[in-house]
Amino acid sequence: MNINTSISNADGENFGGYLAVPESGLGPGIVVLQEIFGINDFLKTTADAIANHGYVALVPDLFWRIEEGISLSYSDEDMARAFELYGLFDPERAVVDIQGALDTMRSLPQHEGATQEGSHSKVGCVGFCLGGLLAWLTATRTDVDCSVSYYGVGIENFLSEASQVAGPAILHIAEEDGFVPPEAQQQLTAMATEHDLVTAYTYPGCDHAFATPGRDSYNADATKISVERSLAMFEKVLKG
């Protein structure tokens, strides 16, 4: 079941999101964090695939402060618009909205544990590109239970927050990523080596957005491996 839903943050602000629910109608929760293209077909397809694995997936509209309901393709025209939106985006405020999405997820009747009064029902997150950075900030600044970052851009600027990671976190790094240069990749892998809860995987020969079908950089083999690694962690943390 796929529906649009409403999310509330701690400031009492309301914004939209896309919700995908498994056939059973119940499951652990995963918040899916967008690229710079809004809640487009890729994000919805990703949420649907997560639901097919037995999870409730919620994609918050993190561009709502700029414009609600953004959904862009990967055409040159939409790419230009996406970077324009990125320039207006405030990641600090987005973290407030992501915590709101986590809280909303925990209150959904479809989410396992939501009816257990006073309990902390577990929720994970996964993000791509901009969402990959936000997945890292979610790991360091919110009460998320586990996180997965796909080719997050700019994480190296927030490595000082690594000590605040309280749950398992995965970083999927594309070796040929033009947005995450080799020096930044080295910083990420070095940090992960020293952090018990953070695991960094590098995908040789892969470019940015290797996990997005239809894009020139898509790599089916790397995507398959990264999805298996991500699901194994979600299974352990959220279902274990």
Global pTM reads: 0.96
Q: Cite the active site residues.
A: 177, 208
**pLDDT tens by residue, 181-238:** 999 999 999 999 999 999 999 999 999 999 999 999 999 999 999 999 999 999 999 9
Question: What does the alpha-carbon distance between residue 197 and residue 11 come to, in Å, rounded to a whole number?
Answer: 30
- Report yes or no: 168 and 237 within 8 Å, Cβ to Cβ: yes
- Per the structure, how many domains does the chain have? 1
What range defines the domain where residue 214 resides?
Answer: 2-239
| Confidence at residue 118, expressed as pLDDT on a 0 to 100 scale | 40
* CA-to-CA separations, 117 to 123, 124, 206, in angstroms, rounded: 16, 20, 45
* CATH number assigned to the domain comprising residue 226: 3.40.50.1820
